[in-house]
Chain A
Amino acid sequence: MFLIPNAVVRFFHRMASPPHFYAFTDKVMPWLIISFVLLTGFGLYGGLYLAPSDYQQGDSYRIIYIHVPSAWMSLFIYMVMAISGAIGLVWRIKLAEIVAISSAPIGASFTFIALFTGSLWGKPMWGTWWVWDARLTSELILLFLYLGVIGLYGAIDDKRVASKAIAILALVGVVNIPIIHYSVEWWNTLHQGPTVTKMDKPSIHVSMLIPLLLMALSFKFYYLIALIQRIRIELLQRERNAQWVKAKVLELRL
């Protein structure tokens, strides 16, 4: 490959091999968990205790420390799923296929949390649990895409074939991602416009922004932890006849 340093290419080649991946994640897992716990601790303390109340919403706005990072994760995980699905399709890398299917339930959970917390906030603030505006509807479609991916994978017995099918479904669904992001700008919606991810400076006070970014980072770590655990289980299942799995089992038994 061009433009990518050799060391990086070698790292990915090694990671694509199941036994290496298994051994490597054994080592990094404690560090991931420590980072996640620290970030969540500081993020929640900052968001729920240190950050001031909002001039208009009072304390109700604090749901953004869960709602906004979940919504970001729902989009981010979808992109990870689609891209690793595409890599699996083109290069036939087993690990990429597993990353794609293992991401789906985590992404679906984050999408559900985003919709649910938004609904809880919407009732007192907007005056309604749900409206069919472009942002809410496209996010709901995202949840259905995730559920579709999970269902399709479960419906096909041959998991290599199933992985190809879900990769194609995920790739077609990618069109929904820019629609969700830009829905509040393209159309009149009840949902407000972007606060943090716009070109000029964010329209949120810095004392409220820092905990929000910490929470966003902490959710990324949570995803990484949950993803790795799912991948490890999936790897053991798919490779149950491989030599390295047998060696691993014997090693644990002794």
Chain B
Amino acid sequence: MKPARKQRLILIALMVIGASIATAFALKSFNDNLMYFFSTTDVVEGKAPKSALFRLGGMVIKGSVERPGDGMMVRFKLTDFSKEVTVEYTGILPDLFREGQGIVAHGKLNDQHVFIAEEVLAKHDENYMPPEVKASLKNQTTSGTNK
């Protein structure tokens, strides 16, 4: 390779490496801000903001969804498989909302440590399969350990 070309190649490599390092440091320092939601463990341990709006993510515990009263109000428990948080929401739930489904709620904690949600979004998982396959998977897991 000619010296001039080699020099340009090295210069380009240095530029890309430099930009990568700078970005890595920037992302590292903003790491917490880039998290889209807090986990339920964060909330129980008091890491989430006390009197401000924030997002809470977790899985809806099976059998925890209840509708006290006649209105649109729905109450359910979220978990990250270690700590639980109760959520209350008044409004229309997205299609994918169901027990055992991951969701992200936007709102704030009240004094009783209940999360009052203003918005509930369903978090879709990365699994795609036909209903028949899902049914046969369910039959297998009910006989063994349940997920």
Contact = CB atoms under 8 A, between A and B. Distances in A.
Nearest to B120: A127
Determine the main DSSP class of B at the interface with A.
Answer: mixed
Interface in B7-60: 8-9, 12, 15-16, 19-20, 23, 27, 31, 34-37, 39, 57
A125 B126 contact: no
B128 interface: yes
Interface in B77-92: none
Given A52-B130, A171-B12, A126 B119 contact: no
Interface in A197-252: 203-205, 207-208
A128 B121 contact: yes
B123 A192 contact: yes
B147 interface: no
Contact of B119 (A89, A91, A127): A127
Contacts of B129: 54-55, 204-205, 208
Given A133-B36, A188-B57, A190-B121, A203 B8 contact: no
Interface residues of A, number: 41
Nearest to B18: A172
Interface stretch (A19-27, A36-44, A56-64): A56-64
Given A54-B129, A90-B12, A131-B36, A125 B94 contact: yes
A171 B16 contact: yes
20 contacts: A52-B130, A55-B130, A56-B134, A57-B96, A57-B124, A89-B12, A90-B5, A90-B12, A124-B95, A125-B124, A127-B97, A171-B16, A174-B16, A175-B20, A187-B31, A188-B39, A190-B104, A193-B125, A203-B126, A203-B128
Interface of B: 5, 8-9, 12, 15-16, 19-20, 23, 27, 31, 34-37, 39, 57, 93-97, 104, 119-135
